[in-house]
A = this chain, B = another copy of it.
């Protein structure tokens, strides 16, 4: 159980730096290849929208990587955001033995 001290990179930033920049691929070209709009790709690459399961799969197929990799990047990002955002008010379901 490692505690994450800083917010993990958004999957889109990882995609941009590790795939696009490494291979000199433009956002426009990537959007066409993956079959999504340029707007969506641009927003994703800038971390403005999350990596949906569908997008994760398109990236995985186009880069011979694993769907789980991209889904997990997003999951880690979401988890960090949830932990550092507003906490909803709930009642305890199970009593904390270490209370």
Interface residues of A (CB under 8 A from B): 1, 19, 23, 25, 30, 32-35, 53-54, 56-58, 61-64, 66-68, 71-72, 74-76, 78-79, 81-83, 87-94, 96
Q: For A78, give the chain B residue with the smallest CB separation.
A: B53
Q: Are B53 and A93 in contact (CB under 8 A)?
A: no
Q: Are A92 and B53 in contact (CB under 8 A)?
A: no
A17 to chain B, nearest CB (A): 14
Q: How many copies, total? A: 2
A12 to chain B, nearest CB (A): 15
How far, in whole Å, are A75 and B87 apart by their CA atoms in the complex?
21
Q: Are B19 and A58 in contact (CB under 8 A)?
A: no
Q: For A76, give the chain B residue with the smallest CB separation.
A: B68
